[in-house]
Structure 1
């Protein structure tokens, strides 16, 4: 093959790569779905992650940012949590967040408000599946953070709600924190860790929440 022909082939290949990048085509030259290792950590949650009832900068998500600095693993943390949000709301907001921030890790902390509103678990399940797929397609790893509902919801619903998170993690092969409030929200003296509404953790509980998240998150940072 002559030098001119070799140059043309190289040019064609570069054009194909550029086209694949522009169209988001996955495959040998495409980048869609490739893992993003340098983007921020995106937290998509509800009031438990949105510093509800706390002074700004006291929530576990802010403490996470400080922990990353202390562990010499500095990475931006984007807190996209909204008090009262449901899995449906998170699903609607997520595509724009993925496009804007291009996270390397997405922490999904949604579902508690679905239960409080009596929404069908099948709908919540579908929303979780859709958010996980969208995150992974965007190149992000996912940490799923689960919740538990009080026993007054009935044994059957309580078990099904917990299983929703476990089953989702198993299907998608995700890291799972089964219960964000484990170790203090499920103890006899739990009320000392909550605000007056007896629903939202107080400032003293925020480091405990981070300590629950950190062991599940740390392996993803590598």
Structure 2
């Protein structure tokens, strides 16, 4: 569970909250090697004054995210990078519920004044083309309905790239997270202000 630290409280820069599951948390990578860490370094290097907060919790489903969304909204983030659904898919949960939970999170975050961007995921081939097509369709449908920017696949340019994925085949390595941060930066670029 992400914990607000004293340094977070003293940091007056606008917040970018990276809100998701293990892909956001940086599962399996060393501390400081998650994609939100790399995103902070990228923005700092370009002179953007934002405070990137990692609100990723490994193992969470969209239901867990929905239970946490108010705490994330309470940080008054300027931008939220929303990434959930992988664990729902891996557990074979009803995808109507996944879509409904994501929709409720988007609504709640937008109501708090945050600009939301959506980062989609997909599943390994062994889950079958029908199920994969259904999960893949959730993200563009929500992006269209709520007029939010979409990164169709968070691990674009990472999945299947040697050295970018951990042996489990689900999570990015420290090297892979650098590319994920680049993907996310490109997604939020039009929203950034210097």
State the TM-score, normalizing by the size of structure 2. 0.89
Task: Give the superposition deviation at 1:209.
Answer: 0.8
Q: Secondary structure at the match of 2:153?
A: coil
Compare relative contact order (CA 8 Å, sep 6+) and give the higher one, 1 or 2. 2
Tell me which of 110, 123, 128 is aligned to 2:84: 110
Q: Secondary structure at the match of 2:155?
A: coil
1:87 to 2:62 alignment: yes
Cross-structure match for 1:50:
25
State the TM-score, normalizing by the size of structure 1. 0.78
Number of equivalenced pairs: 181
Task: Give the superposition deviation at 1:171.
Answer: 0.5
Cross-structure match for 1:181:
155
Cross-structure match for 2:186:
215
1:127 to 2:95 alignment: no
Q: In structure 2, what is the Cα distance between the partners aligned to 1:178 and 1:93? A: 23
**For the pair shown, which has the larger CA radius of gyration, 1 or 2?**
1
Instruction: Note the 1:8-47 alignment, pairs <5 A.
Output: 39-47=14-22
CA contact (8 A) 1:42 1:79 kept: yes
Q: Which runs of 5+ in 2 are unaligned?
A: 1-12
Is 165-174 or 46-55 further displaced after alignment? 46-55
1:200 to 2:171 alignment: yes
Cross-structure match for 1:155:
129
Q: Which runs of 5+ in 1 are unaligned?
A: 1-37
Task: Give the superposition deviation at 1:191.
Answer: 4.8
